[in-house]
Amino acid sequence: MPAFLTRLAGVRELAGDRGQDVDRRWLLRLSCRSAGRLGRDREVIGSKGQDAPAIMTAVNELPGHERALADDDLPVLSALIQRCLEADGGLPDAASEGFIRRQYLSGAGIGRYRADGSLLAAAALSAPGGDRLTGAGAVDPAHRGRGLGCHLLDWTLAAADGRPVLIRSEMVTGAAERLYSRYGLRQVFGELVMRADLSESPVLVPPPAGVVFRPWSDQLASLFFATYTAAFRDRPGFPGWPQQQWIEWTTGDDDFRADLCLLALAPDDDAAGFLTVGANWIVQTGVVPRWRRHGLGAALVTAAMSAIRAAGFGTCWLTVAQNNPTATALYRRCGFVIAGRRGRYGVVE
């Protein structure tokens, strides 16, 4: 997966098919009454200000031994996340070195270790946005249901010391959501991770009559942006980025493929839709309102899938906001299947 999705792992999630902004009012605030970092009389402030039930796990009842995460834990962290991905699905790059360093090794972290040094579970707290803290955690699928998840979340919230926290998960499961709910946390951002097999050539959907596709170029960059704005302006959480910011975000990555991006031009040279690509990921797809329900979205997606296959990739990936069933149905028709979920969790005040 391209590095642009690692950049998306910060607290801002780009609008449109990339999701919606995570606002400060959704961030968790924890009040610790205990002098000890893991005091049992911790108070979690819920969405209406009431105390949530205290959920604490006795450390001596947990499997394994505990210590702080360190840089040389990268291999065992990667192995742990890979086991979680195999069991839960989710964002495939979550086990990559860059992603793990960003999520687990850029701030404070703890791990529960077996005697052989492998990880049973890990949690981390970092501040990619200054005072905005983000928490992440993972529990080995073979050791769930033993209190490790509660312990990790207790540690994360206590380590925040009353500052705002956003809990991030690149591999959402029903059990994790039930745990978050017990702490008063609600999903404030959610995406489906979707994958298409490219072992066979995709069935191309022709564009509407008179519509032609053009690749990205410096001359067309402003028109790509105008089309993005027209296509996504009506989506929840549209960020309203200025042109230069969006262009830099789109192109400022080693995996950006200008030759695989597509701008759909109508017979009058008005832009009808667009699609951007990074490596074998469809990053964004949008169709302006007056060209919707004409088959243009499917034409863009299948053309991109074919080009990605021709570039040597065996799979194509994308993410889509959970609150965008129309786009999800389009991707399904083009051959994509759901490979997991990712989300952000906080207290809605």
Are residues 123 and 21 both part of a single domain? Answer: yes
CATH code, domain with 262: 3.40.630.30
339 domain residue, yes or no:
no
Q: Which residues contact 161 (CB under 8 A, 6 or more apart)?
A: 30, 32
Are residues 168 and 226 both part of a single domain? Answer: no
Q: Residues 254-286: pLDDT tens digits?
A: 899 999 999 999 998 899 999 999 999 999 999
* Predicted pLDDT of residue 1: 52
SS3 label, residue 225: helix
177 domain residue, yes or no:
yes
SS3 label, residue 337: strand
46 domain residue, yes or no:
yes
Are residues 169 and 78 both part of a single domain? Answer: yes
SS3 label, residue 246: helix
* Predicted pLDDT of residue 347: 79
Q: Residues 69-108: pLDDT tens digits?
A: 999 999 999 999 999 999 999 999 999 999 999 999 999 9
Are residues 127 and 227 both part of a single domain? Answer: no
Q: Residues 15-62: pLDDT tens digits?
A: 333 333 333 333 333 333 222 333 333 333 233 333 434 444 555 678
Are residues 246 and 185 both part of a single domain? Answer: no
The strand order across the sheet containing 108-113 reads 65-68, 108-113, 119-129, 132-139, 165-169, 337-346, 186-197, 315-321, 281-287, 271-278, 262-265, 212-214
Are residues 182 and 210 both part of a single domain? Answer: no
345 domain residue, yes or no:
no
Rounded Cα distance, 107 and 189, in Å? 23
Rounded Cα distance, 31 and 158, in Å? 9
Q: Residues 210-251: pLDDT tens digits?
A: 999 999 999 999 999 999 999 999 888 889 999 999 999 999
Q: Which helix (H) or strand (E) holds 319?
A: strand 315-321
Q: Which of 190, 211, 245 corresponds to the end of one domain?
A: 190
329 domain residue, yes or no:
no
* Predicted pLDDT of residue 131: 63
Rounded Cα distance, 331 and 320, in Å? 9
251 domain residue, yes or no:
yes
What pTM was estimated for this model as a whole? 0.83
Rounded Cα distance, 212 and 218, in Å? 18
* Predicted pLDDT of residue 59: 58
Are residues 173 and 275 both part of a single domain? Answer: no
72 domain residue, yes or no:
yes
Are residues 276 and 155 both part of a single domain? Answer: no
Q: Which residue has the tokens 């402003």?
A: 222
Are residues 214 and 151 both part of a single domain? Answer: no
Rounded Cα distance, 274 and 147, in Å? 47
Rounded Cα distance, 219 and 4, in Å? 23
Domain that holds residue 275: 200-313
25 domain residue, yes or no:
yes
Q: Which of 190, 211, 228 corresponds to the end of one domain?
A: 190
Mean pLDDT, the chain, whole residue set = 85
SS3 label, residue 39: coil
Q: Residues 136-195: pLDDT tens digits?
A: 999 999 999 999 999 999 999 999 988 879 999 999 999 999 999 999 899 999 999 999
